[in-house]
Amino acid sequence: MISQKMKYALKALLALADEQAGGGRALRIEEIARRSGAPKRFLEHILLEIRNAGIIASIRGRAGGYVMAQAPETVSLSELLRLIDGPMAPLPCLSRRSYARCEDCADEASCRIRKVFSEVFWSYLLLIESLTLADLMRADGSADRIFAA
């Protein structure tokens, strides 16, 4: 399950990407908050994380705001999930980047819990790692319907 923070991040990125796809301008944080439904104060922290990762850029000045720094086709949803929500693995022993041995596990090789969850997790990874922000932009319906579930 993705967090509310991740949903706000995706909605903010969709607002920025949609604006730029239409030849639009930089968006101020108030406009991004209005379009994404995210509280402005909370959105400030999210946008800072995304900007520090190089996905968006901020422009100073009167006509300033936020713009996409990367093309939507290059913004990986799996990398964004890791950036915002941290490790995606259902068990710490399945994480590629944050591996940790389960304290209560005597033998990973014979752990039936690890075996079943690894099969499910690797299937999920194959799918999520193939998706980009551009895929969300192409999804039928509005962003509100995409994230309503």
Please check whether residue 103 lies inside any domain of the structure.
yes
Please check whether residue 50 lies inside any domain of the structure.
yes
CATH of residue 60? 1.10.10.10
Return the closest-CA partner of residue 59 out of 49, 69, 50.
69
pLDDT range class, residue 106, cuts 50, 70, 90: confident
Residue 140 has pLDDT above 70, yes or no: no
**Amino acid occupying residue 56:** I
Please check whether residue 133 lies inside any domain of the structure.
no
Please check whether residue 115 lies inside any domain of the structure.
yes
Please check whether residue 134 lies inside any domain of the structure.
no
Dump pLDDT digits (tens) for 107-117. 888 899 999 99
Residues 29 and 83 in one domain: no
Please check whether residue 17 lies inside any domain of the structure.
yes
Residues 61 and 117 in one domain: no
Residues 18 and 56 in one domain: yes
Return the closest-CA partner of residue 143 out of 51, 47, 8.
8
In this predicted structure, what is the pLDDT of residue 61?
87
Dump pLDDT digits (tens) for 63-105. 889 999 999 999 999 999 999 999 888 888 888 888 888 888 8
Dump pLDDT digits (tens) for 3-36. 999 999 999 999 999 998 888 889 999 999 999 9
Residues 84 and 33 in one domain: no
Dump pLDDT digits (tens) for 35-51. 999 999 999 999 999 99
Degrees to nearest 5, angle at CA 103 with 101 and 106: 85
Angstrom distance (rounded) from CA 16 to CA 59: 13
Show the 3-state SS of the chain: CCCHHHHHHHHHHHHHHHHHHCCCCCECHHHHHHHHCCCHHHHHHHHHHHHHCCCEEEECCCCCEEEECCCHHHCEHHHHHHHHHCCCCCCHHHCCCCCCCCCCCCCHHHCHHHHHHHHHHHHHHHHHCCCEHHHHHHCCCCHHHHCCC
Residues 80 and 28 in one domain: no
In this predicted structure, what is the pLDDT of residue 48?
96
Residues 9 and 49 in one domain: yes
Matching residue, tokens 């990762």: 53
Return the closest-CA partner of residue 29 out of 52, 1, 60.
60
Angstrom distance (rounded) from CA 105 to CA 121: 19
Residues 25 and 86 in one domain: no
Residues 24 and 43 in one domain: yes
Residues 59 and 37 in one domain: yes
Query: Domain range spanning residue 15?
Result: 4-73+139-146
In this predicted structure, what is the pLDDT of residue 146?
44
Angstrom distance (rounded) from CA 125 to CA 129: 6
Instruction: Tally the domains of the chain.
Output: 2
